[in-house]
Amino acid sequence: MNGIVDILYRPRGRFAANHVGAHVSSEVGGIGVFRDQAPFMRYPDARRIDIRATLRDPFGATYVRRFEQRASIDVYALVDLSGSMGFVGAANRFRVAVDLCAALAYSVTRVGDRFGVFSYEGALIDRSTIPATRSRRAALAAVERLGAETPRGSSAKGVLDAAAALGATRKLVFLISDFRWPEPLLEQAFDALSPHDVAPLVLIDSLESAPPKWGVLALRDSESGGRRLLVMRPALQRRWIEAEQARRRNLARLSSLRSRAPIYIEDSCDPVDLSIRLTAA
pLDDT tens-digit profile of 125-159? 999 899 999 999 999 999 999 999 999 888 899 99
Q: Is residue 254 part of a domain?
A: yes
pLDDT band at 19 (very low <50, low <70, confident <90, very high): low
Q: Is residue 94 part of a domain?
A: yes
Q: Is residue 95 part of a domain?
A: yes
Q: Is residue 9 part of a domain?
A: no
Q: Is residue 4 part of a domain?
A: no
Would you say residue 187 has pLDDT above 80? yes
Range of the domain at 131: 74-279
Structure confidence at residue 178 (pLDDT): 93
Would you say residue 30 has pLDDT above 70? no
Q: Are residues 139 and 244 in the same domain?
A: yes
Structure confidence at residue 228 (pLDDT): 66
Structure confidence at residue 65 (pLDDT): 82
Which of 65-69, 154-158, 239-243 has the weakest average pLDDT? 65-69
Q: Is residue 2 part of a domain?
A: no
Q: Are residues 236 and 147 in the same domain?
A: yes
Q: How many domains does the chain have?
A: 2
Structure confidence at residue 238 (pLDDT): 82
Would you say residue 17 has pLDDT above 90? no
CA dihedral 177, 273, 194, 155 (to 10 degrees): 0
Other Cβ atoms within 10 Å of 115 Cβ, number = 30
Q: Are residues 52 and 182 in the same domain?
A: no
pLDDT band at 98 (very low <50, low <70, confident <90, very high): very high
Structure confidence at residue 236 (pLDDT): 74
Strand-pair category, 74-80 with 114-120:
parallel
Structure confidence at residue 272 (pLDDT): 92
Mean pLDDT value of segment 94-102: 95
pLDDT band at 70 (very low <50, low <70, confident <90, very high): low
Q: What is the CATH classification number for the domain harbouring 153? A: 3.40.50.410
Please state, for a pLDDT cut of 70, what percent of the chain lies above it. Answer: 83
pLDDT band at 29 (very low <50, low <70, confident <90, very high): low
Q: Are residues 85 and 34 in the same domain?
A: no
For 191-202, the pLDDT digits (tens) are: 999 999 999 999
Please give the residue that has the higher pLDDT: either 44 or 130. Answer: 130
Q: Are residues 233 and 118 in the same domain?
A: yes
Q: Where on the phi/psi map is residue 79: left (φ > 0), alpha (ψ -120 to 50), or beta?
A: beta
Would you say residue 281 has pLDDT above 60? no
For 161-170, the pLDDT digits (tens) are: 999 999 988 9
Please state, for a pLDDT cut of 90, what percent of the chain lies above it. Answer: 48
pLDDT band at 174 (very low <50, low <70, confident <90, very high): very high
Please give the residue that has the higher pLDDT: either 41 or 148. Answer: 148
Structure confidence at residue 239 (pLDDT): 82
Mean pLDDT value of segment 222-234: 64
Structure confidence at residue 190 (pLDDT): 96
